[in-house]
């Protein structure tokens, strides 16, 4: 899988360069609203085209699932692309966004890349090959309790349907933790769990392209990822808990009492 990881890295860096070149022109960008609090800029679309062109040049028969252009037919190799995770942050000049690319083969994640162009931080993972940050091995934290833990999250901002459940989860976790951070890019939050910058993370309503690369990073860094029912259906449900094994267990125990039937 190393050649495919190399292609993912090349595509992520190229898209990141394109994003950086656009930061001085944010006020003049064309922005479309896809749904409530859900935006796409022309930079999202250009970044996605750049990634797809690089992948297609190397692997023309591979399938693609991309946030902006949807599913592109191909074989059992599926590239999962979020060309700019944290678009709202980008449009406001808030410095927390990234490119996320994953490769799934016959339903199993094999390669994951998350690139933060502002900090030039490249998070990479291969199944069975560990997780890296700029070619240095990374691991999840050894935090063993909520006291002193720093936890990441994302608000369910696209719909109010699960807001009450989320508030209950938030209260349960914030009571004893050192703090909760909501930075606005799930891909980077997951990468930060893998790198030991966050002790855990949870969110409601993610899409596959938001989480695919980050999930592989966390698993290869020694962490655990499940849905709210302690199963592996997070891709299907969009609901995710992640952390080192101990913190994941603690977070699950705190979150589970607030999980409604529609979130299972």
Do 12 and 33 fall into the same domain?
A: yes
One domain, residues 182 and 92:
no
**Range(s) of the domain holding residue 176:** 150-263
Residues 206 and 253 both lie in one domain: yes
Give CA–CA dist 151/180, Å, rounded.
5
Q: Are residues 88 and 193 in the same domain?
A: no
Q: What is the CATH number of the domain that holds 63?
A: 3.30.540.10
Please count the other Cβ atoms lying within 10 Å of the Cβ belonging to residue 132.
20
pLDDT at 37: 47
Same domain, 154 and 113: no
**Confidence (pLDDT) at 148:** 95
Residues 190, 97, single domain; the answer is no
Domain annotation covers residue 8? yes
- Answer yes or no: do 109 and 171 share one domain: no
Instruction: Give the strand pairing for 224-226 and 240-243.
Output: antiparallel
* Residue 44 and residue 84 in contact, taking contact as beta carbons nearer than 8 Å: yes
Is 143 a domain residue? no
Residue 115 corresponds to which tokens in the numbers above?
A: 């690139």
Closest Cα partner for 104 from 52, 62, 165?
A: 62
Note whether 111 and 157 are same-domain residues: no
Q: Are the C-beta atoms of residues 210 and 242 closer than 8 Å to each other? A: no
> What are the structure tokens assigned to 206, written together?
């993610």
From residue 103, alpha-carbon distances to 3, 60, 65, 165 in Å are 12, 14, 10, 32
Q: Single out the residue in 137, 171, 198 at which a domain terminates.
A: 137
Residues 97 and 182 reside in one and the same domain: no
Alpha helices, DSSP H, located in 123-261:
163-174, 186-194, 208-220, 234-237, 245-255
Query: Residue 130: inside a domain, yes or no?
Result: yes
Domain harbouring 192, CATH code? 3.40.190.80
Pick from 137, 168, 194: which residue ends a domain?
137
Query: Is 144 domain-assigned?
Result: no
pLDDT, block means (10 residues), the chain with 264 residues: 94 96 74 58 90 98 94 96 94 94 97 98 98 97 96 83 92 94 97 98 96 98 97 95 97 95 82
pLDDT at 119: 97
Q: Are 109 and 212 in contact (CB under 8 A)?
A: yes
Q: At what angle do helices 42-58 and 2-21 cross, to 10 degrees?
A: 150
Domain match, 105 and 155 both: no
Write down the pTM of the prediction.
Answer: 0.94
Residue 145 lies in a domain: no
Q: How many domains does the chain have?
A: 2
195: Cβ–Cβ under 8 A, 6 or more apart, which residues? 123, 131, 133, 138, 221
Q: Quick one: 178 and 252 in the same domain?
A: yes
Taking the C-alpha atoms of residue 56 and residue 149, their distance in angstroms, rounded to an integer, is 42
Residue 142 lies in a domain: no
The Cα–Cα gap between 15 and 86 comes to 14
> How many Cα atoms sit within 13 Å of 119 on the Cβ side?
14
Residues 220 and 99 in one domain: no
Domain boundary among 104, 137, 170: 137
């Amino acid at each position: 899988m190393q050649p495919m990881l190399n292609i993912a890295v090349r595509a992520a860096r190229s898209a990141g360069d394109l994003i950086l070149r656009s930061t001085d022109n944010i006020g003049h960008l064309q922005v479309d609203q896809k749904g409530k609090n859900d935006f796409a800029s022309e930079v999202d679309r250009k970044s996605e085209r750049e990634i797809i062109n690089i992948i297609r040049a190397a692997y023309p028969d591979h399938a693609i699932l991309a946030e902006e252009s949807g599913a592109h037919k191909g074989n059992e190799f599926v590239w999962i692309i979020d060309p700019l995770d944290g678009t709202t942050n980008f449009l406001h000049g808030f410095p927390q966004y990234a490119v996320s690319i994953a490769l799934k083969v016959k339903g199993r994640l094999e390669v994951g890349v998350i690139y933060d162009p502002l900090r030039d931080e490249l998070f990479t993972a291969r199944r069975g090959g560990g997780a890296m940050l700029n070619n240095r091995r990374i691991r999840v934290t050894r935090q063993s309790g909520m006291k002193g833990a720093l936890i990441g999250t994302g608000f369910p901002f696209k719909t109010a349907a699960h807001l009450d459940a989320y508030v209950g989860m938030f209260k349960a976790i914030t009571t004893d933790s050192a703090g909760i951070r909501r930075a606005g890019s799930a891909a980077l939050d997951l990468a930060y769990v893998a790198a030991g910058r966050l002790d855990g993370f949870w969110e409601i309503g993610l899409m596959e392209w938001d989480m695919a690369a980050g999930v592989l990073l966390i698993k290869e860094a020694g962490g655990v990822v499940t849905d709210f029912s302690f199963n592996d259906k997070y891709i299907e449900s969009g609901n995710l808990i992640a952390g080192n094994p101990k913190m994941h267990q603690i977070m699950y125990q705190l979150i589970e009492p607030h999980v409604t039937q529609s979130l299972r």
